[in-house]
């Protein structure tokens, strides 16, 4: 892998950690379960091996959409690393299938493609982030941590592409059949604003002096009210409504 860097809160360690901090991170990493989806056996196995060597827990691998859906339903991984080009379906379609089978999983695309359509389709399908395969091992590990914590991570340039597309869509006239916006409580709106800024639930809890569970409850309540599937769609909604 190369040295492309990532945008947003990638979770990359930028300063030397103390022994205590390293031990805590190791324990935290071991609790993160991962499924790797890629149709190239050598690449898939190498990524899984690198993740396990770094201390993460790889619970499943899959070589296509059908096996990814089946194994996600069984393993319920925290993070799914998803290729965009699979033999029996696109990465976007597979992302949607995986999230239907395991709604609590978070999908991070890891693909050779940085094509605009691939990136946007993946995000629209529910992916929380998108890295190209030239990312370094350190960047990948940081991105996995961030994804597990509910943050969005993108290879440089791709976050701006996604944000630009959402802003373009928000500038379009609303559908004549569009329903009235559900009413959010002030606290839900406050949490939504911070989600849109890319903060994790833990960071939001600290910022608002709330418990992690309370923040997650607000997020889930907002998702239900707005009939949205994930935090990426929440961020899009916030942009469309000018909640930034």
pLDDT band for position 114 (50/70/90)? confident
| 164 pLDDT above the threshold of 80 | no
What single string gives the DSSP state of each residue in 22-89? HHHHHHHHHT-EEEEE-S-HHHHHHHHHHHHHTT-EEEEEESSHHHHHHHHHHH--SEEEE-SEETTE
More confident residue, 229 or 8: 229
pLDDT at 169: 62
| 181 pLDDT above the threshold of 80 | no
Provide the mean pLDDT of the chain.
84
More confident residue, 160 or 59: 59
Task: Give the CATH superfamily of 19-159.
Answer: Response regulator (3.40.50.2300)
pLDDT at 244: 67
If DSSP codes are grouped into helix, strand and coil, which group holds residue 199?
coil
Task: Tell me the percentage of the chain whose pLDDT exceeds 90.
Answer: 39
Select the highest-mean-pLDDT range: 56-70, 86-100, 195-209, 221-235: 56-70
pLDDT band for position 7 (50/70/90)? low
pLDDT band for position 187 (50/70/90)? confident
Q: Residues of CATH 1.10.10.10 domain(s) within the chain?
A: 180-240
| 140 pLDDT above the threshold of 60 | yes
- String of b and e for 180-216 (b: at least 16 CB within 10 Å)? eeeebeeebebbbebbbebbbbebbbeebebeeebbb
Mean pLDDT of 83-100: 90
pLDDT band for position 178 (50/70/90)? very low
Model pTM score: 0.64
pLDDT digits (tens, 9 = 90+) for 212-221: 878 888 888 8
pLDDT digits (tens, 9 = 90+) for 8-42: 544 444 456 787 777 777 888 889 999 999 999 99
Select the highest-mean-pLDDT range: 6-20, 55-69, 175-189: 55-69
pLDDT band for position 199 (50/70/90)? confident
Q: Residues of CATH 3.40.50.2300 domain(s) within the chain?
A: 19-159
Question: Residue 40: how many CB atoms within 10 A of its CB?
Answer: 13
Task: Tell me the percentage of the chain whose pLDDT exceeds 70.
Answer: 86
pLDDT at 13: 42
Domain spanning 180-240, CATH architecture = Orthogonal Bundle (1.10)
């Amino acid at each position: 892998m190369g040295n492309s860097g990532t945008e947003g809160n990638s979770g990359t360690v930028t300063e030397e950690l103390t022994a205590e901090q390293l031990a805590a991170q190791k324990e935290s990493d071991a609790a993160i379960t991962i499924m790797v989806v890629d149709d190239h056996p050598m690449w898939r196995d190498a990524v899984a091996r690198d993740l396990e060597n770094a201390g993460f827990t790889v619970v499943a691998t899959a070589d296509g959409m059908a096996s990814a859906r089946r194994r996600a339903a069984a393993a319920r991984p925290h993070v799914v690393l998803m290729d965009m080009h699979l033999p029996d379906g696109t990465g976007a379609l597979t992302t949607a299938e995986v999230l239907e089978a395991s709604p609590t999983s978070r999908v991070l695309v890891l693909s050779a493609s940085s094509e605009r359509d691939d990136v946007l389709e993946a995000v629209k399908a529910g992916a929380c982030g998108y890295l190209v395969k030239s990312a370094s091992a350190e960047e990948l590990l940081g991105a996995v941590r961030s994804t597990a914590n509910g943050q969005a991570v993108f290879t440089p340039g791709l976050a701006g592409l996604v944000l630009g597309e959402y802003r373009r869509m928000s500038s379009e006239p609303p559908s004549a059949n569009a329903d009235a916006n559900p009413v959010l409580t002030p606290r839900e709106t406050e949490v939504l604003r911070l989600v849109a800024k890319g903060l994790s639930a833990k960071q939001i809890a600290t910022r608002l002096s709330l418990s992690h569970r309370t923040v997650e409850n607000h997020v889930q309540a907002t998702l239900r009210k707005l009939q949205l599937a994930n935090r990426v769609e929440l961020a899009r909604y916030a942009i469309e409504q000018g909640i930034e």
